Amino acid sequence: MGSQYPQSVRVYLPLWALTWEVAFILLFLFFTSYDTGPLDGRNLQRYHAVFQDVAVMGALGLGFFTSSLRRFGWSSVAFNLFMLALGVQWAVLLEGFLEKSFTVTGKILIKLSSIHQAAMSAMCVLISVGAFLGKANLLQLTLTTVVEVTAFEAVKTAFRHIFNMNQHESMMYIHVFAAYFGLTVAWCFSKSLPKGKEGKDQTATSSSLFAMLGSLFLWMFWPSFNSALLGSLDGRRKAVLNTYYALAVSAVTAISVSALARPQRRINMTHIHNAMLAGGVAVGTTCHVISSPWLAMILGLLAGLISIGGVKCLPVCLNRVLEIHDTCGLHYTFGLPGLLSGITSIMLKMYHVSWTNSPMIGYVALTEIGVLSLAMAGGLLSGLLTGLILKLKICKAHHVTKYFDDQAFWEFPHLAVGY
């Protein structure tokens, strides 16, 4: 089945994506140069390993994680790679501008560490897109990538300069930001979808071994993600150990509890590959300071329970009341565990301050609540902005709404990748 777009649009969409790429090349030409400073062999090796782990998580883990939609496996993997490759380039440029890491000739200095930092920032797009995958065309995905990366970099800069947070701490709010960005965009899209379709969407979400493969890669490399941006050796050691314990417990919890949450008491694969990652998300903001395994394990247990509980309860609240159609379970994989992570951070900071008998406890609590709120608000606002932009006539191309009305979204020929 060929695309029902008119010929002009079908040429226009790919050319638009290509234009962005050419613009990026020009920006790199005028504004960047490689770091040629002295280099330590161990750092080169470490950065290469970290960069590879992050690439595996982004291209393979998140690509296959969302490949469980029945008719959408190929497109999901290919568009995921497209957004990763585009997002990394934009994030490298933005981080250079915002961090003002200029050379003497006024150019942005591209270091080895730039790439994995940029790839981690670009992963917010890959997470968000889980909520509206299959409803956006190539042009809309390009716009989403550019807007979301810009918004996330802005939020991170605010964290670093206003709240004095380091690279690691500001990055760890990515899950909350991305989840609420994605949900807001999905909410904007849902207005165009007729009501009767929702039941059909749910049942079509059949998961496969490929989705499990993606989840396993995320699970195995999450300790790298949580420790990638930490400077101190002790912080990295703690981050690896805590993340591992939290993930192990949330995997056990996910598989045990999944059977309880379903009427027939059978284990649901979708539950598992959402909930087994919840531990890694939940331990994010605090993984470098938690000093005992049991605390990370309790976070993993809570995150697993919250995630499975969310699967059970949220579709009713969110999907029916707010009319958000959360394609890949974004809210309970990244959103709720991300909130848990933020709340843990608030409590741990308050606990540490309370030991010093300092009168600052109220101030610390307010600051931390402000950080979490900023991440959420940033996600919601930029998501709303993106949703509105994507609904502009020019982005939807001609008559795109027509196709949303008479076809289930995963059957859109202009999205599908040819067999």
* Mask for 395-414, x = binds its own copies (CB under 8 A): ------------------xx
Q: Smallest distance from the beta carbon of 404 to its own copies, in angstroms?
A: 18
Q: Is 204 in the site for its own copies (CB under 8 A)?
A: no
Report the residue from 23, 161, 200, 206 that binds its own copies according to the rule CB under 8 A: 206
| Helical residues (DSSP H) of 100-137, grouped into ranges | 112-128
Residue of the chain from 117, 121, 190, 224 that contacts its own copies (CB under 8 A): 224
Contact present, 98 and 33 (Cβ < 8 Å): no
Task: Tell me which DSSP letter residue 245 carries.
Answer: H
In angstroms, give the least distance from the CB of 400 to its own copies: 14
3 binds its own copies (CB under 8 A): yes
Pair 408, 145: CB distance under 8 Å: no
Nearer to its own copies, 86 or 178 (CB): 86
Identify the CA nearest to 125 among candidates 138, 143, 110, 137. 143
Q: Is residue 316 part of the contact set for its own copies (CB under 8 A)?
A: no
Binding flag, residue 252, its own copies (CB under 8 A)? yes
CB of 354 within 8 A of CB of 346?
no
Stretch that binds its own copies, among 174-182, 227-235, 382-390, 398-406 (CB under 8 A): 227-235
Subset of residues 43 to 72 that bind its own copies, contact rule: CB under 8 A? 44-46, 48-49, 51-53, 55-56, 59-60, 63-64, 67
The verdict on 180 binding its own copies (CB under 8 A) reads no
Smallest separation, CB 363 to its own copies (Å): 29
Find the part of the chain contacting its own copies (CB under 8 A) among 97-105, 230-238, 350-358, 395-403.
230-238
- Choosing from 126, 272, 282, 328, the residue that interacts with its own copies (CB under 8 A) is 272
Report the site for its own copies in 332-391 (rule: CB under 8 A): none
**Integer angstrom CA distances of residue 258 from 252, 263, 265:** 10, 11, 8
Shortest separation between residue 11's beta carbon and its own copies, angstroms: 7
Residue 180 near residue 382, CB atoms below 8 Å: no
Tally of CB atoms within 10 A around 47: 19
Query: What's the closest the beta carbon of residue 144 comes to its own copies, in angstroms?
Result: 15
- Phi, psi values for residue 413, rounded to 5°: -65, -30
Euclidean distance between CA atoms 151 and 178, whole angstroms: 10
Residue from the set 89, 170, 333, 345 that interacts with its own copies by CB under 8 A:
89
Given the complex with its own copies, which of 161 and 402 has the nearer CB atom?
402
Which of 195, 265 has the CB closer to its own copies?
Answer: 265
Instruction: Give, as ranges, the residues between 288 and 307 that touch its own copies (CB under 8 A).
Output: 291-294, 297-298, 301
CB of 368 to its own copies, least distance (A): 24
Query: Is residue 216 near its own copies by the rule CB under 8 A?
Result: yes
Residues within window 98-157 making contact with its own copies, judged by CB under 8 A = 110, 112, 115, 138
- Segment contacting its own copies by CB under 8 A, of 188-196, 261-269, 366-374, 380-388: 261-269
Q: Which 160-179 positions form the footprint of its own copies (CB under 8 A)?
A: none
Q: What is the torsional sign of CA 90, 95, 100, 101?
A: negative
Q: How far is CA 64 from CA 20, 211, 409, in A?
A: 26, 5, 19
Distances (CA, A) of 115 to 90, 119, 255, 293, 366: 11, 6, 35, 31, 34
CA atoms within 13 A on the CB side of 371: 31
- Identify the CA nearest to 254 among candidates 270, 236, 240: 270
Q: Is-contact 294 265, C-beta < 8 A?
A: no
Q: Count of residues for the chain?
A: 419
- Nearest Cα residue to 130 out of 268, 333, 305, 336: 333
Q: Residue 202 interacts with its own copies (CB under 8 A)?
A: no
Compute how many residues bind its own copies; rule: CB under 8 A. Answer: 115
